[in-house]
Amino acid sequence: MGRKILDQEELHVANFDGTNDAFPKPKKVKTKSSAKDLDRTATTENNISLKKSNKRKHGHTEDGTADDDEQSKLDKAARKKARQEKREAKAARRTLKEENKAARKAAKKAEKARQKELQQQTAQSTPQGENKQKKVVQFSLDDSTDATTTNNSRSTSSQVSCITSASTSPEPTLPNQMSTSRYTEPSALKAYSESTVDAFLVENQIIITDPAANPDGLRPITEFKFLPTQDNKALQATFANFKSPTPIQAAAWPHLLSNRDVIGVAETGSGKTLAFGIPCVEHVRASLAEKPSKKAGAVRAVIVTPTRELAAQVDAQLNPIAAAAGGLRTVCVYGGVPKDPQVKAIQRGASIVVATPGRLNDLISDGSVHIGSATYLVLDEADRMLDKGFEDEVKRIINACASHGKGRQTAMFTATWPEGVRTLAASFLRMPVLITIGGALDGDGTGSGELRVNDRITQRVEVIDQRGKDARLVQILHQFGCGRKGAGKEDRILVFCLYKKEAARVETFLRRNGFNVGGIHGDLAQAKRTEALEAFRAGKTPVLVATDVAARGLDIPDVRAVVNVTFPLTVEDYVHRIGRTGRAGKTGEAITLFTEHDKAHSGALINVLKRAEQAVPEELLKFGTTVKKKGHDAYGAFYKDTGDAKKATKITFDD
């Protein structure tokens, strides 16, 4: 076939020498390795080395097998031990908590038994029936009573109760810091007969409720000469403008001078500032004499007010009186102005600080001001501060002052007595003397707390169309002579608007119509607000357009009339607005422009007019007499005041 067949021997030779032509020697193929292949090979070798290293690190054998079972058992035992320790610690805490609870319970039980034993000993040593003493003096005035003895002879009869001591259990005793009084009743005042004092209380509709064991009571200071501050020339100059103390002053002074906590409920313009201001100055003066301050700028008295203008007014009234009483300094602190000058003024030495809640809390939080040495605290217009949502700020200020155990005396003055004010008083006042003027509350202090309008104010309500307000306002101002040249102090008119933009618009409108007018509202800088208020006080601008920022506490003398261009949000604000006139025994007039937009307030307004025996327009009655449910500034109309309900307790659950 042409193919050479090799025998076995030839094949053997060919395999070894490779010379046989049938099996040629294979050629070597040379290949070029790329850089990428080299990198891949190096990476693989590195990974293998790393795996071997990790195996050796975690206790694996050389050939790659791991002792996983042994390591898992160790981890499980450690976790079990940690859980057991946690359970034991928790059980120990629970046991300690139960032991503490049992100890507190036993101590409370022992204290209760001790108090009961003391009460039994007191009852045995006291004549029977003495602890149930209750002195209630009731007076009845009929039509036959002389009209000059009471200003409210319109009603056929009125009853006033003066509760000087009321207790059915062993009578409470005064706190230690109140047991030593700085006030000694003058002998001339003691000489007043009980019938004379009773007649004064009846005539001025004063109700005094004292929860302490004080059967004799303190007589009202009916004349300035009975005050223990006769050497104060600035005070004498202040009294020169008045014939006698106002009812709230006469009733509050003896108790405040006796270091008692006092709650004063009185109408607007009743002289509440001097009612707490004079005892404040006397308290600080005596306190510094007994225990001089070691630190510069140590504050001894704090007076809290809801608005800047009211704070400035209180400071202006007390500053000369305090300066004449041994060189005491007062400092006014409020927002809207830089903090540094106020802080420096306090640090230079301020015995009395008059402040708004927000700014004073800021200074306390910054550490700029310390009021821990303040032993005299006044909450002026307390109801207004709560309405504006300052309750938390007020509580922080109270807690920052000296405690009752260190001798703090607290006074609260308000125009209304709502549930929120009662709760605050119950929390921070100790056995306070409740003084009400005008019969707004019941004798036990649990009345409705409705506002009582000043009888010297003539109220007039005009129901008009919304579009006719501006023209009617101009007519009213012309009737009072504000548009003529030379209008002065006796022609001052206060115009109230509801909103800031509305106040600015009305001010511009009146100025264009030729009136000399000023304005005060929240959008103005504090310097401009102060300037406008001072110009109105001085009679340079006979008309002042304001929002409700000027409705509370401001004492502007000789305001002839108040005009409500827009009805306020509440009837309480209405009463405080018109209370800017008819002050200090003078008469005043209040004119309200009422529109259909205000009909929700018609019922409450009608009730105020009827209580003050003022004329009620037929147009107003058409809107209805339903009183709208009072809402809350923060929580709305459906806010529920729980009153004296028991507070919720925090419940914790074990894990």
pLDDT of residue 230: 63
Listed range (126-130, 477-481, 500-504) with the worst mean pLDDT: 126-130
Residue 145 falls inside a structural domain: yes
Q: In this structure, are strands 206-209 and 457-463 parallel, antiparallel, or unpaired? A: unpaired
Residue 106 falls inside a structural domain: no
What is the rounded CA–CA span in Å between residue 274 and residue 248?
9
Helix (H) or strand (E) run with residue 459 in it: strand 457-463
Residue 273 falls inside a structural domain: yes
**Tokens 């602890």 belong to residue:** 131
pLDDT tens per residue, range 110-134: 777 766 766 665 555 444 433 333 3
- Give the residues across from 353 on adjacent strands: 302, 331
Helix, strand, or coil (residue 584): coil
Q: Which residues of 512-538 are buried (b: 16+ CB within 10 A; e: fewer)?
A: eeebebbbbbeebeeeebbebbeebbe
- Higher-confidence residue: 77 or 250? 250
pLDDT of residue 502: 94
Tell me the pTM: 0.60
Residue 100 falls inside a structural domain: no
What is the rounded CA–CA span in Å between residue 33 and residue 152?
120
Q: Express as a percent the part of the chain with pLDDT over 70.
A: 69
Are residues 333 and 360 in contact, defined by beta-carbon separation less than 8 angstroms? yes
Residue 523 falls inside a structural domain: yes
What CATH number does the domain containing 582 carry? 3.40.50.300
Are residues 252 and 276 in contact, defined by beta-carbon separation less than 8 angstroms? yes
Helix (H) or strand (E) run with residue 594 in it: strand 588-594
Sequence-ordered list of residues with C-beta below 8 angstroms from that of 333, at least 6 positions apart, any chain: 311, 342, 346, 353, 354, 355, 356, 359, 360, 363, 369
Domain boundary residue, one of 409, 437, 465: 437
Helix (H) or strand (E) run with residue 590 in it: strand 588-594
Sequence-ordered list of residues with C-beta below 8 angstroms from that of 296, at least 6 positions apart, any chain: 347, 348, 349
pLDDT of residue 52: 58
pLDDT above 80 (res 378) = yes
Mean pLDDT of 315-319: 91
User: 329 and 300 in one domain?
Assistant: yes
What spatial distance separates the first Cα and last Cα of the chain, rounded to whole Å? 100
Mean pLDDT of 167-188: 57
Summary mean pLDDT of the chain: 76
User: 318 and 175 in one domain?
Assistant: yes
User: 418 and 468 in one domain?
Assistant: no
- Higher-confidence residue: 443 or 278? 278
User: 416 and 524 in one domain?
Assistant: no
User: 511 and 410 in one domain?
Assistant: no
User: 347 and 488 in one domain?
Assistant: no
Tokens of 323: 């300066």
Longest CA–CA separation in the chain, Å: 169
Tokens of 307: 């608005």
Residue 498 falls inside a structural domain: yes
pLDDT tens per residue, range 225-238: 888 876 677 777 77
Residue 645 falls inside a structural domain: no
- Higher-confidence residue: 36 or 527? 527
User: 259 and 408 in one domain?
Assistant: yes
> Positive or negative, the Cα torsion across 405, 408, 409, 411?
negative
Which residue, 488, 506, 508, 487, is CA-closest to 496?
Answer: 506
Mean pLDDT of 297-313: 88
What is the rounded CA–CA span in Å between residue 320 and residue 235?
8
pLDDT of residue 270: 79
Residue 88 falls inside a structural domain: no
| DSSP calls for 127-196 | -TTGGG-EEEEEEEE-TTS-GGG-S-TTSS-EEEEEEEEE-SSSPP---HHHHS-S----HHHHTS-HHH
Listed range (385-399, 432-446, 460-474) with the worst mean pLDDT: 432-446
- Higher-confidence residue: 441 or 482? 482
Helix (H) or strand (E) run with residue 546 in it: strand 543-546
> Positive or negative, the Cα torsion across 612, 616, 620, 624?
positive
pLDDT band at 158 (very low <50, low <70, confident <90, very high): very low
Mean pLDDT of 457-469: 93
DSSP E strands in 10-100: the ranges are none
Q: Which residues of 18-49 are buried (b: 16+ CB within 10 A; e: fewer)?
A: eeeeeeeeeeeeeeeeeeeeeeeeeeeeeeee
- Higher-confidence residue: 643 or 304? 304
pLDDT of residue 472: 95
Listed range (101-105, 132-136, 373-377) with the worst mean pLDDT: 132-136
What is the rounded CA–CA span in Å between residue 493 and residue 83?
79
Which residue, 225, 231, 228, 236, is CA-closest to 183?
Answer: 228
DSSP code, position 613: T
Tokens of 345: 């003024």
pLDDT tens per residue, range 412-421: 998 777 777 8
- Give the residues across from 175 on adjacent strands: none
User: 524 and 396 in one domain?
Assistant: no
What is the rounded CA–CA span in Å between residue 582 and residue 457?
6
3-state helix, strand, coil in the chain (%, to 5): 45, 15, 40
- The total domain count for the chain is 2
pLDDT tens per residue, range 260-303: 999 998 877 778 899 999 999 999 988 888 877 666 667 999 99
- Higher-confidence residue: 326 or 345? 345
User: 487 and 348 in one domain?
Assistant: no
pLDDT tens per residue, range 329-351: 999 999 888 899 999 998 888 89
User: 143 and 272 in one domain?
Assistant: yes
User: 496 and 431 in one domain?
Assistant: no
Highest mean pLDDT out of 32-41, 62-71, 526-535: 526-535
User: 338 and 366 in one domain?
Assistant: yes
pLDDT tens per residue, range 559-584: 899 999 999 988 888 988 888 888 76
pLDDT band at 634 (very low <50, low <70, confident <90, very high): low
Q: What is the 3-state secondary structure (H, E, C) of 375-430?
A: CEEEEECHHHHHHCCCHHHHHHHHHHCCCHHHCCEEEEEECCCCHHHHHHHHHHCC
Q: Which domain, by its residues, includes 171? A: 130-437
Tokens of 569: 């949000």
